[in-house]
Structure formats: structure tokens, C-alpha cells
Amino acid sequence: MGVLDPIDLTEVAGRNHRYQREWFELRVDPSHPMQQQPVSGEIELSLKLRYNPALEYEPFVDEPDEFVEKANELLVAVAHGRSLAVRDKNLFSKGGGSDARAVLCFGDKQFRRTTVQKKTLYPIWREEFSFELLTPAPAVLKIRCEDYDELSSSADSMGVVDVDLTALLGDKRVRRRQWYALEKDPDTPPNLAVSGEIELILRCRYNATLDFQPFQEPSDFPNKRPNELLIAVVQGRGLAVVHDRYLSSKTGGSSDLRVILRVTSTDAECRTTRVAKKQTERPRWLETFRIPVEYADDCPQALMVQCVDQSSSAADSMGVVRVDLAPLARDQERIRKWFPLEADPDHPSEAASGELELVLRYIHNPEFCSFEPFEDEATINDHSPNELLVGLVRGRDLATKDSSHLPSPQVTFCISGNDTSYQSTVRNKTLFPIWHETFRLPIFWADENDETFVSIRCEHLDEILSQATPIGEIRIFLKSLSNQQLRRQWFPLRAHDERHNASGALELVLRLRYNPDLVVFEPFTNPDAYVGRNPNE
């Protein structure tokens, strides 16, 4: 019926964001010069050029990079496509569309796929991918644009692109944004039409996350029951924004993120010590944890990983990950995997989105089952006890007031009324220290009403600043041990004073006993029967 002459948009742009409303006359379609019917009529259009911030897409501008290190990651964003070939033709008219997606191949083993954009020749993907730069790194990124059929799960090629990465893999590490023309796929029929371009944004960088490879050491006891759960919290992606979401759009704001780890059917709990500002889509923690937990066949156990936003006074749950421990206990193999966050059952009103990357392994650690102090110590019940035996086994969930660093805990023991103290060794940078150390503290016991106690103080020792920060304190009255039996127990740490918060617990082995070696040696105290005679001895 006719076409319109090309419309000069420079005139529209010069109207200071005001729209143009005008009638345009139809002309003969030059692509149908033999058309017999006359062309007549007009079409009224309203036109306006404006700036839409939602159309801005500039990925990888603020991604962190350490230029002193060699690049180990390739970032690829598939932005848009235009003028793609028609693969799904209309039945009763000209034209058609395609259900377009892009498949990225980097080397022999790294593949990525975009989502499918349906019924369009101008798809908008805006999807980002990353590839590890192995040695030697491939010099070409291969991209195949295809029309995907969901019914048959098949795909017809719409063209391919081979992106030369030689310049990107050099030392300059520039960010490149470019349209790439699709070329004919050599694996398709020769008469299959190919057209169009796709827009890519590319960048190489150094990603410290890829150098984070914990728990790779071989297991020395693969056939023994696991009793230590190894967890590394690597990074997150696609996490929901919680802070300020009620004051801005659903996607605005930022989150201060922390990850909390718990094991069901136990009281084991720990949390990341660093809070990651969600300034990018991938906050990183790069923290490891070793949780002592005995695997039980008759009691299903799971690791619960909760992501919380601590931007406000009340921590908002952003979702949880539940990991069944049975497969980990069976295989005792190291796994590194992205786990999707699901809605927190304790906070059903909070939406969950995104994923956490975790490294997990469940192993047998002989240190947890080989420390049984004082079992062979003799018992003498007809004397009052004069010695306290203390076995310092291990600690759990220890944290200082300044939780930005892992603590280096040291434990000090002291009997009330006595200035002598006994100190353990320092365990560097751990929330779950293992000591396996014993101490023998002389005491002066009166009777079961004696209020003497042992003070046990746990502190973080900063060797650089030569100062100690309280973690918590335990006070045990000796009369609670008057039966002189071994007592093995977890003791929760209490706050040292109102200025500090306490966290965690210590496992101790305690026993009161009589030690004859501690009896004071006072010879020649008996009265002399011959004080009037000359001494001869």
C-alpha cells in the first residue's frame, strides 16, 4: 500500500525533547516497482527523542583489577543483536523473526549460553559471562548465534563470529566494545542466509577469586568416619538489594553482606568476618572455616548457609542454601559449586535471589579423637585435693569485637586469690582452634563450701601491635569438681565486661585431685625430747 520517505531525525533531535506530530504521505514502495495498484493516503506519526537511563549498559567499567598480576579471567558481555536473519517465517505475510540466543565457546571445555530472546531480529541480551584464562590461553573466542526451538530442543545456526583476543590478552588490558558481523557457519547448508551483527563488550583482568583454591590437600583417612566439615565462602552473584529498597527502586540501593554457617542437629555456628559491600554483582569473601562435627548415620545433617544484609540495625535475610552432608560424608571429595539461594523459612516475607559459590569437603581429622588427658592419673580420695588438672582441647565460634579479621586466640588460666597464671600457645587466625594442651594448677582447698574458682580468659593476641583483645571469659568454681572425677565439657564464653561482646565456647577436660608431690616438705618439726643434752647428730 506504500511506504514513507525516510524521516530525518536530526530535526526531531533539535526540538529540545518535544515531540513532533505530523502527517506523512505514502509513496510507491521501491522494492515493488511493478505494483499495479495506485498508492495514496497519509499516516500520522508522533515522534520524540529522549534519554532513557534504563538503556545505558556499560559492564566491566568498575570491575576490580590488580594490574601487577597477570590476567587470569576473560569477561564477556553479550549486549545486543541487530538485523539478524529470519528463521521463523510468517505463514500468511512477509517477514518473520527468530528465537535468538548466543553460544560462547572459549577453548575446548568452557561454554556459555545466553537466554533466548523470542520473535525478534533485534535481541537485547545484556548478559555477562566469565572465562578462566588457562595456560596457554586460546587466542579466539567463538560465538554462534542460533535460532532455538523449545519444542524440538534443536537450534538452527544464524551465523558465527570468531573474536580475535590477541590484543586483549596483552599487557594493556583495555576494555573493548564493538559490533561484530555474523559470518556463514561452515556446518550449515550453503543456501542458508546469514545477516546481522552482535555487540560484545570484552575485558581481561586478574581475579583473585580464581587463585583461591582451598582444601586441595589429599585425605589421609578416606575410609574413616568424617568429623570435620571444611567450608570456603568464595563469592556471590545476582544477590538481591535489601538496604534502601523501600526508599528507591527495586534494583536500587546496596547491601552490606555477611554469610552465617550452621550445621543442623548441632550448635555449631560461624560467620564470615568481613562484610562485603555490594558495589558489584559479585561480592567476595574468600574465607575458610573448619567446623568440628561428627557425622551421624541415624541423624540426617545439613549445612545451612544464610546470607544476611547488615545495613540496618536488624539483619535482613537474603536467602539460604541447604546442603545435605550425606553425599559429602560418603565421597569425602572436594566440591566447588554455585548454590542458588532459596527463601529463608524463618523469614518468608524476604525475597531470595542470586547464588553463593562455596567450596565444601567433609574429612576425618584424627586430632578430634586422640586427646584424652588425665585418664591414667591416680586417685587418692582420702586426702583433700591440692591440684587442678586442666586439658585445653579446642574452641569454636571465637570472634573478637573487631570482626574484620580472624582472631589469633590464646587462653590464660588463673586460680582466684593467686597471682600465678598459665598460658596456652597462640593459634593463628582461626575461629576453631585446636590446642590439645594440659596444665596443672596447684590449689589450696579448704572444704566443699570453699568459693575458690578458676578463671579462664580467652583473648585475641595481636602480635604486631603487642596487645590483647578480650574474646570471652569462663569462671568455674572448684566445688563443682569436688567428686574428683574427670569432666569433659563445652563451656560458653561470657563477656569480660560491658564494653565487649563474648562469642564461642571452649572444650575443657577438668579434674580435681590430690597430688602427694605437692605436699610441702617440712622435716625435723617434731619436738626434741633431749633439749638439755649436748647435740651429737
CB contact at 8 A, 260 and 318 = no
pLDDT exceeds cutoff 70 at 499: no
Q: How far apart are CA 97 and CA 532, in angstroms?
A: 129
Q: How far apart are CA 491 and CA 373, in angstroms?
A: 17
- Please provide the DSSP assignment of 263-306 as one string: ETTS--EEE-SSPEE-SSS--EEEEEEEEE----TTS--EEEEE
CB contact at 8 A, 28 and 35 = yes
pLDDT of res. 215: 93
pLDDT of res. 378: 77
248 pLDDT band, cuts 50/70/90, is: very low
- Identify the bridge partners of residue 45 per DSSP, sorted by sequence position: 22
Q: State pLDDT tens for residues 436-480.
A: 999 999 998 766 677 899 999 999 888 776 788 889 999 999 999
Q: Where are the beta strands (DSSP E) in 193-245?
A: 197-205, 228-237
The predicted model gives 139-149 an average pLDDT of 93
pTM above 0.75, yes or no: no
401 pLDDT band, cuts 50/70/90, is: low
CB contact at 8 A, 100 and 43 = no
Question: Please, which residues have CB within 8 angstroms of residue 392's CB and are 6 or more apart in sequence?
Answer: 411, 424, 435, 436, 437, 438, 439, 506, 508
Q: Which residue has the cell 498508492?
A: 39
pLDDT exceeds cutoff 80 at 312: no
pLDDT of res. 251: 40
Residue 424 grid coordinates: 596456652
Question: Please, which residues have CB within 8 angstroms of residue 21's CB and are 6 or more apart in sequence?
Answer: 44, 45, 46, 47
pLDDT exceeds cutoff 50 at 381: yes
Q: What percent of the chain has pLDDT over 90?
A: 39
Exposure string (b/e) for 7-32, b if CB count within 10 Å is 16 or more? Answer: eeeeebeeeeeeeeeeeeeeeeeeee
Residue 266 grid coordinates: 548441632
- Ranges 268-277, 283-292, 326-335: which has the least confidence: 268-277
- Ranges 83-92, 144-153, 237-246, 389-398: which has the least confidence: 237-246
pLDDT of res. 85: 92
pLDDT exceeds cutoff 70 at 207: yes
Q: State pLDDT tens for residues 39-79.
A: 889 999 998 888 888 778 988 887 777 777 888 899 999 99
pLDDT exceeds cutoff 70 at 242: no
pLDDT of res. 352: 85
CB contact at 8 A, 272 and 285 = yes
- Which is more confident, 329 or 52? 329
Q: How far apart are CA 123 and CA 198, in angstroms?
A: 9
- Identify the bridge partners of residue 202 per DSSP, sorted by sequence position: 76, 176
pLDDT of res. 501: 72
The predicted model gives 294-302 an average pLDDT of 84
